[in-house]
Every structure is written in C-alpha cells, then in structure tokens.
Amino acid sequence: SLGGPPGSAPETGDGGLVDSQRRWFDYYLRGVENGIVAEPAVRLYLMGAERWIDETDWPLPSDEASFFLRGSPGGGAASLNDGILDSEPPGHEEPDRLDHDPGNPNRTPVSAFDQRSFEARSLSFTTPPLEHDLEVVGSSRLVLHTSSQAKDVDWCVRLCDVFPDGRSRLLNYGALKGSHVASHEHPEALERDRVYAFEIEIWAMANLFRKGHRIRVAISNSDFPAFESNPIPSRNLVYHDATYPSRLVLPVVRR
C-alpha cells in the first residue's frame, strides 16, 4: 500500500508508485523474482517531516487523542467563530450558528497549502501552539452534535496543520449528509431542531504536527465543487457543551 499527501505530488514525488506497481505485477502476473514481497508492506508520505517512510502494518499502532470543540476565542482563524480545540471537556457553552445558502456555497480551495479562504466562511476550532511534536497517522473522526431547521443538510469538514506564519495546510477532509446520519442504505429526513450526533470520518493521512504549529478543524455546510452543494437552504446549530461534547479524535502514533 502506498499513500501520499493531497494535492502535492509535484513537490513530493510519487514515492516510487509507478515502479512499485510494475514490480508488483511482474511478481504476481509474470513470476519475476524481484524481491518485492520481502519489502515493507506500507509506504506513506509523512507531511510535516516531508519524507516518505516505510511501515510493516496498516493501520499503525496508535492511541486516540480527543480535542473538544470550545467556544472561547482561538486567536488565529479568520472564520465565523474562531473557536478552540481543547483537551479539557467543555462546561456550559452556547452553540454556534451556521447557515447554508445553496446559491452561494463555500468554495473548495484551489491549493492544499492554504485553506484560509474556506475557513473564513466556516466554523473553525484551533489548538494553541503545540508544546511538542505530534505524529498523527490514519483516519480521524469528528463527533459533531448538531441540529437543523431543514430536513437535510450536509456537514463538510477539513483538518489542517496551521503554521506559525498563519498558513493553513490541508491534511484531509470528510463529509456526511444529514439524512444519512443513521444509515446510508436507508436515509431519513432530519427532525426539525432535534440534536443529532454525527460521526464524520476524515480520510486517512499522515502528518507530523511540529512544535509551535496548531491543529485546526473547519466545519461548513458546503465544499463545492469537491462535493455537490445541498439544494436545501438551512439554519443550523453546532453544540459543544457538557451535554453535547463535540470533539475531534486523532490517531496519535505509538512509537
């Protein structure tokens, strides 16, 4: 298995992808003894460290770290709320409001290396500067408690590494349609103003968050054209309190 960073192949190279594919087919289809089965089974690009690494298993051994969404100012994001990500669970906090206008959706940024245009129209939550390096590899998830006045709404999430100069680099993203919160096979309309718990997968990535960098999650009801914009206008609330502790869950590598 081989995986690289989003939108950055020219800068990082392909990690020998084409050569690995050729050697794999040579061995399994042509019977060429080229030693590929003795090599590590996984190669991935570790963003932050900016290098390819080899591993023997996938997923990597890791421990889950939870960062709770909080309403206090994060002091760094130009967004609709500028909240924080905190290791401490929240107490009493007011929800954040997010409206969706299908005629004016949030636009997918052109560059993976700066997400600030997307974040400006999102709810963003950011950690303080990290006190030590943090290696995160694998799929993450956002547990998001929300309500809506519409029968359906999309939740689009972007996970970013924020540099000391303010640049916000995309690591990966995920999305979930509200009507699919319980089942993809049997979608159902949302109940007006009912609070739902969404578990939104953020697809696998590998990143070394450097000391002094910050972790950010940006939440929107659209991410067009990466995802088709929901045609239903909506007024939505995101809850982050003791009753509804919305949180980002990251797989921190066990070294």
Q: In the chain, what are the domain boundaries? A: 2-55, 62-253
- Distance of alpha carbon 162 from alpha carbon 113, whole angstroms: 10
The answer to whether residues 112 and 8 touch, using CB atoms and an 8 Å cutoff, is yes
**pLDDT at res. 45:** 93
Helical ranges in the chain per DSSP H: 9-12, 17-30, 116-119
**pLDDT at res. 5:** 66
The answer to whether residues 164 and 129 touch, using CB atoms and an 8 Å cutoff, is yes
Superfamily classification of domain 62-253: Galactose-binding domain-like (2.60.120.260)
% of the chain residues with pLDDT over 90: 84
- Whether 253 shows a pLDDT value over 80: the answer reads yes
- Distance of alpha carbon 73 from alpha carbon 84, whole angstroms: 6
- Model pLDDT for residues 189-237, shown as the tens digit of each residue: 999 999 999 999 999 999 999 999 999 999 999 999 999 999 999 999 9
- Whether 67 shows a pLDDT value over 90: the answer reads yes
Beta bridge partners of 199: 143
The answer to whether residues 82 and 175 touch, using CB atoms and an 8 Å cutoff, is no
Do strands 134-148 and 234-239 pair parallel, antiparallel, or not at all (unpaired)?
antiparallel
The answer to whether residues 182 and 197 touch, using CB atoms and an 8 Å cutoff, is no
As given in the structure block, the two tokens for residue 177 are 């349609």
Tell me whether residue 3 is exposed, middle or buried, using C-beta atoms within 10 angstroms of its C-beta: 0 to 12, 13 to 18, 19 or more: middle
> SS3 breakdown of the chain: % helix, strand, coil, rounded to 5?
10, 40, 50
- Whether 162 shows a pLDDT value over 90: the answer reads yes
- Model pLDDT for residues 91-123, shown as the tens digit of each residue: 999 999 999 999 999 999 988 999 999 999 999
- Distance of alpha carbon 103 from alpha carbon 63, whole angstroms: 41
- Distance of alpha carbon 37 from alpha carbon 246, whole angstroms: 43
- Model pLDDT for residues 4-35, shown as the tens digit of each residue: 666 545 455 565 778 888 999 999 999 999 99
The answer to whether residues 182 and 208 touch, using CB atoms and an 8 Å cutoff, is no
**pLDDT at res. 20:** 84
- Model pLDDT for residues 68-77, shown as the tens digit of each residue: 999 977 666 7
pTM assigned to the model: 0.91
Do strands 134-148 and 196-209 pair parallel, antiparallel, or not at all (unpaired)?
antiparallel
Q: Which residue shows structure tokens 């939870």?
A: 66
- Distance of alpha carbon 243 from alpha carbon 255, whole angstroms: 34
